[in-house]
Structure 1
């Protein structure tokens, strides 16, 4: 099978596309807020954040490359077709019209517009803003083959120029010293683990599994056809984009920590970033931030809408790509008007449920050549991860759920019998036990098969 050798320029274009798809609403506001929470411990928290915010998405792309999967369904299929379908639908819904895609409109609105309008006027302005935002998103994502031009060549350079301007002022005229910044109670001794869990909010590990479809389509469109070459190109390109993200994250976390010299701990990163921009450049600074946030969130919205529509059209081909795209953009527009706070509050339990399953799936996929892609290893690991993941989801749900008596009973059971439950990692030990059981089963079965074959030969 003939394949086209790509130049460094092609890698940069693909990496730029991935960066634009990954870097969106949460990637701006959560690092800033993490910096304010961690204070003097900003770097320790930052390393934890980078694990789930950058390394895990990179491993997700590599997992798709190693297994030569066309997307999230193929990646999860060794566990079972029904599980793969359900996991794909939940991930698509989370990244699509339920949480991530609506957040791409509400975040820039919160940063750049909400502070200039009254509380009574905000719903009307959000309605207008989100209508325009998702109209542009639908137009840009109506043809999957146009995504590389829309994201990689047009919007990314504009965003990076605006971000560089903010960083340049922040580093030459810092608001204060990060070394002496106050540290929130939870970050006194748990900065790394809290940073690790805050990285869930970016949703990038889930996005990496979904964006694999767009990556493969783009690489093939550039002339590479052989599966091994496609896999290597995807891994190299993603490394470029993830490295740039890591640098930006650490810069934003540091800026958040230095801002405590002039501002109190904010309710969310959007408010904090608006205050910081105003301190640097006044109203023009807030305007630049609003434009920057809109650009970066728009690129992510286009990527999410495209990947959502392609994934579900591929699984359910009787429904056209255009129909799925209309559903994604239309539902995202409606849910965006619920407001940013509600979206974040209800997305957290879903992320606490999906992330342990995504982490184990990524690790299993990368390591799968070592156990010959044996489904039994996948199934044991996933089965024992599933139970504590459900507990994590309940524990992070809004108060209207956690106040229920039966939920409190389950959470008390979780704290008592699952190690690391208090720090949100109660799934880690069960997942490891499941992995050991699965590997042991695999080794024993291989040995029995080899022995039976030897006996038949004799």
Structure 2
């Protein structure tokens, strides 16, 4: 039984790794490494925190909170706002941005370099036909990705990274003018892994049930261990890619290249003509596994949200078609659209995820809610300021130069929210638990009970 569980954890962990390791994960770490040079390790730490760290915490937050679900993480800002938050994230990392980006990246980094005459509309049709074929059966998604696609992806990545370590392009040099930690964090934003970490549990929960695990404790244990396996693999691969980029920092031939062309140039320098083919395989597998995982997650979520009225298979078909059409906008355009959305949403999600680990200590939802909403307001003002609005004061807050200016407002919001404890009872019923002697909270059973409770709270 222990060997069986270990195999399942490894398969789930590999599937989770492959789902996270997609389009942005290939192009951003080398670009980061080149831009920060000899400070690549500091930059990588920032990248790791805002990408792998938050993604893994998101997975753990879902399985460790008292409800053992995504609702347990986001309901602290209110049920309807929580649903809106999750829906927005699903659309952001799904058909709206990340899934189309996988096809765009595969075309620009792989197909375009090997078959320049290939039309991007034709390639996109083939790519998404494969995604649809491998996603239409939700119980098989983790097996397909974890057992078959990920091992090949890892093997090819190891070859490339080891080659870059044994015979580096050059030595990392000092680059002035950049804040490595901030650059790493901003690059971590762009991958979208952190913001979608808690949503990937939907795919893993479906897989765990398919393996015969149904009780909350067993499912939570499997997913938590899979999250750790995924985190370790991502750390090793991301670190290797960041180092490869850093080895080009002193070479003028690589200066000024954008994310995708830089990765192509590094691969060609390290592996010659064969590197083009190897890069094409890496890109295809990485992006395919991510597209499969995200499509499955989105399909599961919207089917559950609709109470089964929207069928998984219908949703997957619709999202695949939409993603295909949107992917032809182009990689650069998709990235430019994703940046402001992620800037606004990341801090709110981060606050909710972090507070999930302290819900036994901070039981009042108003504290978490105020902190999350304050972080959201700060990021909206910061984005407006970057576009010329008169909100420049947000850039003078502590840690703002590291992209963490929202921390102080969130802390203040949490303190303010703690003074509104009485309002908490308008949305929950406090009952004395006979076994522990402590208060337990539940949602009102009806609208009448909600109204009565609000009157009493006021």
Fold in common (TM above 0.5)? yes
- Please tell me whether the aligned partners of residues 37 and 184 of structure 1 are also in contact (alpha carbons under 8 angstroms): no
- Please tell me whether the aligned partners of residues 70 and 212 of structure 1 are also in contact (alpha carbons under 8 angstroms): no
- Return the match for 1:371 from 339, 343, 362: 362
More off after superposition, 342-351 vs 70-79 = 70-79
Structure 1 segment 15-34 matched on structure 2, within 5 A: 15-34=13-32
Match of 1:246 in 2: 235
Match of 2:415 in 1: 436
Structure 1 unaligned blocks of 5 or more: 397-401, 403-407
- Please tell me whether the aligned partners of residues 48 and 196 of structure 1 are also in contact (alpha carbons under 8 angstroms): yes
Match of 2:296 in 1: 306
Structure 1 segment 221-240 matched on structure 2, within 5 A: 221-240=210-229
For residues 26 and 214 of structure 1, what CA distance do their matches in structure 2 show?
21
Match of 2:335 in 1: 344
- Please tell me whether the aligned partners of residues 97 and 338 of structure 2 are also in contact (alpha carbons under 8 angstroms): yes
Give the drift of 1:440: 5.3
More off after superposition, 160-169 vs 291-300 = 160-169
Match of 1:405 in 2: none
Give the drift of 1:274: 0.8
Q: TM-score, normalising length from structure 1?
A: 0.87
SS of alignment partner, residue 350 of structure 1: helix
More off after superposition, 351-360 vs 232-241 = 232-241
For residues 306 and 445 of structure 1, what CA distance do their matches in structure 2 show?
35
| Aligned pairs, number | 426
Give the drift of 1:162: 0.8
Match of 2:124 in 1: 130
Report the CA distance shift for 1:275/1:219 in structure 2 as closer, same or farther (over 3 A).
same
Are positions 1:149 and 2:143 aligned together? yes
More off after superposition, 31-40 vs 263-272 = 263-272
For residues 64 and 270 of structure 2, what CA distance do their matches in structure 1 show?
45
Q: Which has a greater percent of helix? A: 1
SS of alignment partner, residue 260 of structure 1: coil
Match of 2:370 in 1: 380
For residues 108 and 444 of structure 1, what CA distance do their matches in structure 2 show?
50
For residues 177 and 304 of structure 1, what CA distance do their matches in structure 2 show?
37
Match of 1:173 in 2: 167
Structure 2 unaligned blocks of 5 or more: 432-436, 438-458
Match of 2:246 in 1: 257
Deviations 1:143-187 (A, max 9, x none): 110112210011001111111111221111111112xx24152x2
Report the CA distance shift for 1:28/1:113 in structure 2 as closer, same or farther (over 3 A).
same
Deviations 1:70-92 (A, max 9, x none): 65445212311221121112101
Report the CA distance shift for 1:323/1:444 in structure 2 as closer, same or farther (over 3 A).
closer
- Please tell me whether the aligned partners of residues 195 and 346 of structure 2 are also in contact (alpha carbons under 8 angstroms): yes
Q: TM-score, normalising length from structure 2?
A: 0.87
Deviations 1:375-409 (A, max 9, x none): 2122211221121121244456xxxxx2xxxxx23
- Please tell me whether the aligned partners of residues 37 and 265 of structure 1 are also in contact (alpha carbons under 8 angstroms): no
- Please tell me whether the aligned partners of residues 344 and 380 of structure 2 are also in contact (alpha carbons under 8 angstroms): yes
For residues 356 and 51 of structure 2, what CA distance do their matches in structure 1 show?
19
SS of alignment partner, residue 367 of structure 1: coil
Report the CA distance shift for 1:69/1:214 in structure 2 as closer, same or farther (over 3 A).
farther
